Structure 1
Amino acid sequence: MTRTRTPMTAVDRAWLRMESQESPMMIGAVLIFDEALDLTRFRQVLEERFLRFRRFRQIVEHRGDKTYWRDDPTFDLDNHLHVVALPGDAGQDALQDLASDLNSTPLSPSRPLWQVHYIENYQGGSALIARIHHCIADGISLVRVLLALTDNKPHRHLHTVPATPRYDESRWERLGRKARELKHSAGAGIEQLRHFGHNVWKKPTYPLELMRTGGEVGLECLKLGLTPSDPPTLLKGDLGGRKQVAWANLPLKDVKTTARALKGTVNDVLMTAATGAIHQYLTDQQETPPDCGIRVAVPFNLRPLQQPIETLGNQFGLVLVPLPVDVDCPRMRFRQVQDHMNRLKRSWQAQVTYSLLDLFGRGPDILERRALRLLSRKASAVLTNVPGPRRPVYLAGARLSTPMFWVPQTGGIGIGMSIFSYADRVLFGIIVDKKLAVDPQRVMDAFETSFYDLAEVAGTPGTYPQVERRAVERRKASSF
């Protein structure tokens, strides 16, 4: 084996094998800019900051029952960066349609698994639509990689990017590398034993606490296995593979004001707004929300946020979060969501699901698919919440005005919802399988209305005149 090929981890392999015609395993992003991007500068940024990660120059190679990352000998940036234009004075609807079409189209396995489309002359500025396969890295890592392409100021000088060195690994170098890996593993094991002995000496009850933790993990596995399937609703059904996307936004300061008034977190407020949106949408479609509520699968980051992204890969678990969509009162809905989130933060569910993904990635493909079908029945959607920069950022000199991201759905789940905070706004996006007949724009409208209803019970309705006006207009329209 040469240095041009490296084994794929079991967890990354699990996400690769989740790909199906109904669910392309891609993380999608739409980035909208106030002005046109300078393509020369943008290409240089990609060369300098994006392609420094070797994964973006590699293709997937299968050899027997093993999977590898192999350097693409014919790699060319032009195969991954495409320039397109929307007709006339196209607006957000046209951009959403293009993003929907691209997110329905799988990436070519014969090339590195990513693509970027540059949209010219979009509403006086420009836009980017990026798609990256989930097997390269998890959503939080990829969002951080994309944001690492940006600067805090608009002005930045170009400079020459050094060529990426490439060479073959000799037999002796390979043996030396294996010896170093073995030494590192042995050293880590000895360090763990030393750490265990120190803890026992310092605290004699440590072994009992360790056993109790093991018992909690085992109980979490049992609870996950015994969790019943989510009830049938409009959100579940057969999938067709064609996707539809939409997005909306709220002022971040208003969300923070509501969170303080309710003595909760921004995340509690946004999860409650999403819950209310589903409640309202089901009600508007003449469907009674299930008495037991529904669950959403929420990615839980296991990589320290302060840790720089030096290597890619998937380091997260999934937690099943109950959403009380059956509750009419926004305040009661908020309290239940807050209680569920606090309990899940203290659980081992994320670590358990990460370990299961590692196990699935090592086993046969048929076992993984059956397990995924079983787990996907326990949730109706995937929902992710990622914090973004607090100040506006610039890419190749152009100010980023609106960033939006979507995560792929696993198994039989056909809806993905994403919450992303950026500068002074919170952006809420949704991706829906077209066969479910769920109107993504109506869900976006319901999200804004749900937030206004929660703000009203928080005692600060006058803070949100624009949201209130839109909500009143929608309620009048829906009454006809």
Structure 2
Amino acid sequence: MSVKRTLMTAVDRSWLRMDTPRNPMMISAVLVFDKPIAISRLKHILNERFLRFQRFRQCIIDEGDKVYWQDDPLFDLDNHLHRVALPGTACKAELQTLTSDLNSTSLGLRHPLWQIHYIDNYQGGCALVIRIHHCIADGISLVRVLLSLTDKTPEPDEQQTPSVRPWKQPARSPIPRFLHRALDTTEAATHQARLFMQSVREEPNYPLKLASTASGIATDLLKLGLSSFEPDTCLKNTLSGRKQVAWAEPLDLAEVKACAKALGGTINDVLLSAAAGALHKHFKASKEAIPDCGIRVAVPFNLRPLNQPIETLGNQFGLVLVCLPVEIADPVMCFRQVQENMTRLKQSYQAQVTYSLLDLFGRGPDVLERRALDLLSSKASAVLTNVPGPKEPVYLAGSKLLQPMFWVPQSGSIGIGMSIFSYAGTVQFGITVDKAIHADPNVVMDYFRESFKALSHAAQAGL
């Protein structure tokens, strides 16, 4: 009997190809809980809620010109769930060291590309270190999948299995979605023609809007290709493949909101400004010349409707290049520049352009993708994610989630990844740095908190 296979999409294949010994394409998470979790109960939840996605039971079959998903005939949860204990006092530094080691190790192709390490007796509770390959799904989708393992109360109704809960998001125009999908089959072309005619009937000036949008996308594509390379700074170096991970003590979300309100901006503007301030402090402490035009960070931008449950996995996001004004020492002036940069980006089509490029690269030869990847990675010094999480505490198998941290991988020659995640009235900030880049991740975490405090004090003082 023949084994059923599913062809991997071009975008997912593109992320698979990006995996290198220096930059494994893994999305990783550290989840800290207030008390131990029974392994038997954890396995039950994984079977019921995590493994309902068939992708987590499938291996990758690479035949060169085509790549397939295929059910693992030897699938066993014990191949993916490992129980370990930290040495010594099992403090935060030791958990960071273990996470750094795991994030420096690629996932093997013999089994489905994910691993969970259960950390015993961590600070009176426990922790989970989770690694999932990027070709399975994008970071925002996987965060939602992992959160679907949790419940709103310590003892949920065992008869109810929560779905991957939808998140609210304002409706977006169908025009970008229309443009970023490749018309590579007759079925897809027919669907797009039907969509176009429907839009024309409902909105007579739709063709003009479409032409305007196409022009905007072409312009953004040209801008992306012609934009300057990142300056040669201490943030760029030949990578070693060894990762160093750290996370800060959480910020009070109410304090971040108050700062944003006082400055007439958004929470995102405040946090990006704090990140820029942290890197400014790092440049100063390293006695490194600060680039006078700032640095760019690649920020993933979701293209999957957040108001719909996730039924299938996969990658549906683009990347935008955000300029962080690290050359500006004054916190309020830095905030204003970030605010202006973000306003300009919100009016562009960068996310759709990069998604289409990933789709194109995944269909072409490896050498084309490698060169394109080198080009894109030369445009940024770091990757930065900012994902909203649950507003109230959640529980996994009766244990309260105290602190969640998530990281997306860095691609090409990028060696720094920064992560911002809001949860239960707090803002979590973490970083992963390649060992070849001379930056102490814990010190950078301290700089982030200091930069936020400086901006918050200036905002409250009315400066």
Q: Structures share a fold, TM > 0.5?
A: yes
Which residue of 1 is the match for residue 194 of structure 2? 191
Corresponding residue number in structure 1 for 2:342: 341
d(CA) in 1 for partners of 2:356, 2:188: 19
The residue aligned with 1:435 is: 436
Contact between 2:90 and 2:121, CA under 8 Å: does it hold in 1?
A: no
Asked whether the 8 Å contact 1:41–1:158 carries over to 2, the reply is no
Displacement after TM superposition at 1:193 (Å): 4.0
Alignment of 1:400-411 (within 5 A): 400-411=401-412
- The answer for the alignment partner of 2:181 in structure 1 is none
Preserved contact between residue 200 and residue 207 of structure 2 (Cα < 8 Å): no
What aligned pairs does 1:43-122 form with structure 2 within 5 A after superposition?
A: 43-122=43-122
Matched, 1:276 2:277: yes
Any residues of structure 2 matched to 1:19-58 within 5 Å, and which? 19-58=19-58
Cα deviation, residue 211, structure 1: 1.4
Q: 1:364 to 1:436 in 2, by over 3 A?
A: same
Aligned CA distance change for structure 1 residues 455 and 2 (closer, same or farther; 3 Å): farther
Give me the whole-angstrom Cα distance separating, in 2, the residues matched to 1:378 and 1:121: 43
Other-structure match for 2:459? 458
1:311 aligns with 2:309: no
Match of 1:291 in 2: 292
1:397-417, Cα deviation, whole Å (9 max, x unpaired): 100000001110011000000
In 1, the alpha carbon distance for the partners of 2:339 and 2:405 equals 25
User: In 2, distance between residues paired with 1:350 and 1:319?
Assistant: 5
- Return closer, same or farther for 1:458/1:3 CA change in 2, 3 Å cut-off: farther
- Tell me if structure 2 keeps the 8 A contact 1:44–1:158: no
Paired with 2:318 and 2:190, the residues of 1 have a C-alpha distance of 27
Are positions 1:242 and 2:242 aligned together?
yes
Offset of residue 88 of structure 1:
3.3
Structure 1 CA distance, aligned partners of 2:343 and 2:264? 13
Number of the residue aligned with 1:392: 393
Per the TM alignment, residue 133 of structure 1 is displaced from its structure 2 partner at its CA by 0.2
Question: Conserved in 2, the CA contact under 8 Å of 1:318 and 1:350?
Answer: yes
Q: 1:219 to 1:398 in 2, by over 3 A?
A: same
CA deviation after TM superposition for structure 1 residue 362, in Å: 0.3
Q: 1:17-62 CA distances to partner (integer Å, 9 max, x unpaired)?
A: 0000100000010000000011111100000000000110000001
Note if 1:127 corresponds to 2:127: yes
Inter-CA distance 433–186: structure 2 relative to 1 (3 Å threshold): closer
Query: Contact conserved, 2:246 with 2:431, CA < 8 A, in 1?
Result: yes
Q: What TM-score do you get using the length of structure 1 for normalisation?
A: 0.89
**Aligned with 1:342: secondary structure?**
helix
- Deviation string, structure 1 residues 297-334 (Cα, Å, up to 9, x no partner): 00000011111111100000000000100001100100
Give the match for residue 217 of structure 2.
217
Give the SS at the match of 1:276: helix
Residues 405-431 of structure 1, C-alpha deviations (whole Å, 9 max, x = no match): 111001100000000000021000000
- 2:371 maps to 370
- Are residues 160 and 82 of structure 1, via their aligned partners in 2, closer, same or farther at CA, if it must alter by over 3 Å? farther
Matches within 5 A, 1:465-480: none
Residue-by-residue CA offset, 1:193-213 (whole Å, 9 max, x unaligned): 4314415xx42x432332121
Deviations 1:241-288, CA, capped at 9 Å, x for gaps? 000000012111110110111111111100000010000111111112
CA deviation profile, 1:155-200 (whole Å, cap 9, x unmatched): 1365799xxxxxxxxxxxxxxxxxxxx996476245224314415x
- Residue 435 of structure 1 aligns to a residue in which SS? coil
Please give the root-mean-square deviation of Cα atoms over the aligned residues, in Å.
1.8
Q: Residue in 2 aligned with 1:14?
A: 14
Is the CA contact (8 Å cut-off) linking 1:258 and 1:460 kept in structure 2?
A: no
Q: 1:160 to 1:456 in 2, by over 3 A?
A: closer
How far 1:345 moved relative to its partner? 1.1
| Post-superposition CA distance 1:337-368 (Å, at most 9, x none) | 01111111110000000000000000000110
Q: What secondary structure, in the 3-state scheme, does the structure 2 residue paired with 1:431 have?
A: strand
The equivalent of 2:331 in structure 1 is 330
Q: Which residue of 2 aligns with 1:470?
A: none
Deviations 1:106-158 (A, max 9, x none): 00111100000000000100000000000000000000000000000001365
**Kindly tell me: are residues 276 and 152 of structure 1, through their superposed partners in 2, closer, same or farther at Cα, counting changes over 3 Å?**
same
In 1, distance between residues paired with 2:160 and 2:266?
45
Structure 1 residue 3, shift from structure 2 partner: 7.0
What SS does the aligned partner of 1:281 have? helix
Give the structure 2 partner of residue 232 of structure 1: 232
What is the distance in 1 between the residues matched to 2:212 and 2:266? 30
State the shift of 1:80 in Å: 0.1
Partners of 2:29 and 2:71 lie apart in 1 by: 25
2:191 corresponds to which letter in structure 1? A
- The 3-state SS of whatever aligns with 2:194 is helix
Does the 8 Å CA contact 1:322/1:337 hold for their aligned counterparts? yes
Percent identity between matched residues is 62
Q: Which protein shows a greater Rg?
A: 1
Other-structure match for 1:464 = none
Alignment partner of 1:436: what SS?
Answer: coil
